[in-house]
Structure 1
Amino acid sequence: MVTSDGPAAGFPDPTHDRPAFRAAMRLRRRALAAAQPDAGDRLAAHLERLPPAASIAVYRAIGSEIDPQPLAVALAARGRSLCLPVVVARDAPLLFRRWGPGDVLEADAAGCPAPLPLAEVIRPDLILVPLLAFDARGGRLGQGGGFYDRTLDGLRRHPSPPGFIGLAFAGQEIAAVPMASHDQRLDGVLTESGYRAFP
């Protein structure tokens, strides 16, 4: 639900208390997840609207993040090469290691499920990312670790940069996400309601 007055009406001002704003957005996402347990399946139903890509980075849902597993299974069935992000150090860009549904995973440096170290490192054509909130200009509020922002900052200097697509519940949209100079904007967002590209 898009709010009309400020980034998120009734929530803490993110310019003064960003941690409290993130906490409020987590509560909103948790409520959306509880109300829509089939959102991951509905997300996958719109996969044909994603930008074309041979290799796609997905993620393993943690907590109330919208679950991309049904989407990953459908993409793999269509011959797409999949990978998962891997945190190798707290202040380093992410690596992307080849992965397929059912592959064995282990915790990376941030404790997130990741492919084993022997898995091939690849550069995806499309990166699908979780988020806490997004807006109609491609603004994205992440968890606060900065991993995707650091990673995209480097990848977007490449002559053929990957697409950067958010996966979210439609209700995570807000009027305006406050963006810092290092924050990376989304090229589009895929929700249980469909896909939308941003300018």
Structure 2
Amino acid sequence: MSGLGPPTESGKRTLRRGFLAARNNLTATARQEAAAALARRALELPELARAHTVAAYVSVGSEPGTPTLLEALRARGVRVLLPVLLPDNDLDWAPYDGPRSLTRRQYDGKIALLEPAGERLGPEAVTEADAVLLPGLAVDARGMRLGRGGGSYDRVLTRLERAGAHPALVVLLYDSEVVVSLPEEAHDRPVHAVVTPSRVRRFAG
């Protein structure tokens, strides 16, 4: 089985480059329209409508935009937790208190991230979430998510599993990033649903 690891990871790297290139070709107008539609679609989810705490993230670059969604959740009275990247690529969490609570941090070799400046709650805080919104580059028909390769959210999913926590796992993507099949490794975990600007798709199990 171990011999399958490198080819699978190589295939993932190739796919990542393709999806990132497609994102980078989107115009600013297309990204803005997609972000507005994505927020409307996500806010219709029953999992978010009944959530008291949502772990989310601030989109950067050409990612499907999340700021509108974050503000709408906060306006509902939802407690929103946002990640803070740790030196080992694990994630700490802190509360979102509006756009002014965010600070831009530049990491060596990584894109600049907008992170919450408030009190850090520890990596285990994500286990309190009723729903977790995950970034990604694609998802397939089984609900398997293709991330950027840093492993941060693989750790989050493992932490949730270890704690016996069962939040709704939702990935936010563009329409073209829902595909038939993606390479899978032993540590990969499926999500429950994907939200794109035009639809919500749920996955069995």
TM-score after normalising by structure 2: 0.80
Partner Cα separation in structure 1 for residue 194 and residue 72 of structure 2:
18
Which of 135, 159, 166 is equivalent to 1:130? 135
Aligned-residue CA RMSD (Å): 2.3
Where 1:103 maps in the other structure, the secondary structure is helix
Cα separation, 1, equivalents of 2:170 and 2:61:
20
- Return the letter of the residue paired with 2:45: R
| C-alpha separation in 2, matches of 1:17 and 1:191 | 24
Task: Provide the residue aligned with 1:153 in structure 2.
Answer: 158
Q: Which residue of 1 aligns with 2:35?
A: 40
Question: Which residue of structure 2 aligns with residue 84 of structure 1?
Answer: 82
Whether the aligned pair in 2 keeps the contact of 1:87 and 1:95 (CA below 8 Å) is: yes
Once the two structures are superposed, what CA deviation does each residue of 1:32-63 show, in whole Å capped at 9, x if it has no partner? Answer: 56544311111111212241311112211111
* 3-state secondary structure, aligned to 1:42: helix
Could you tell me which amino acid in structure 2 is paired with residue 48 of structure 1?
Answer: E
Secondary structure of the residue aligned to 2:44 is: helix
Do 1:99 and 1:119's aligned partners in 2 also have CA atoms closer than 8 Å? no
Unaligned runs of 5+ in 2: 1-6
User: Is the contact between residue 141 and residue 180 of structure 2 (CA under 8 Å) also seen in structure 1?
Assistant: yes
| Residue 98 (str. 1) matches residue 99 (str. 2) | no
| Partner Cα distance (2:27, 2:203) in 1 | 24
Partner SS state of residue 114, structure 1: strand
Query: What is the rounded CA distance, in whole Å, between the counterparts of 1:49 and 1:118 in structure 2?
Result: 29
SS at 2:81 equivalent: strand
Retained in 1: the 8 A contact 2:85–2:92?
yes
Contact 1:131 1:168 in 2 (8 A): yes
Is contact 1:14-1:20 (8 Å) kept? Answer: no
More helix by share: 2
The structure-2 alpha-carbon separation of the partners of 1:162 and 1:182, relative to structure 1 and needing over 3 Å to count, comes to: same
Return the alpha-carbon distance in structure 2 between the equivalents of residues 120 and 108 of structure 1.
Answer: 21
SS of 2:73's equivalent?
A: helix
Larger RCO (CA within 8 A; separation ≥ 6): 1
Q: Which amino acid aligns with 1:54?
A: H
Which residue of structure 2 lines up, in the alignment, with residue 7 of structure 1? none
Secondary structure of the corresponding residue to residue 100 of structure 2: coil
Aligned equivalents of 1:191 and 1:177: distance in 2?
18
- Structure 1 pair 115–102 and aligned structure 2 pair: CA distance change class (3 A): same
Secondary structure of the structure 1 residue equivalent to 2:15 = helix
**Structure 2 counterpart SS, 1:27:** helix
Runs of 5+ unmatched residues, structure 1: 1-12
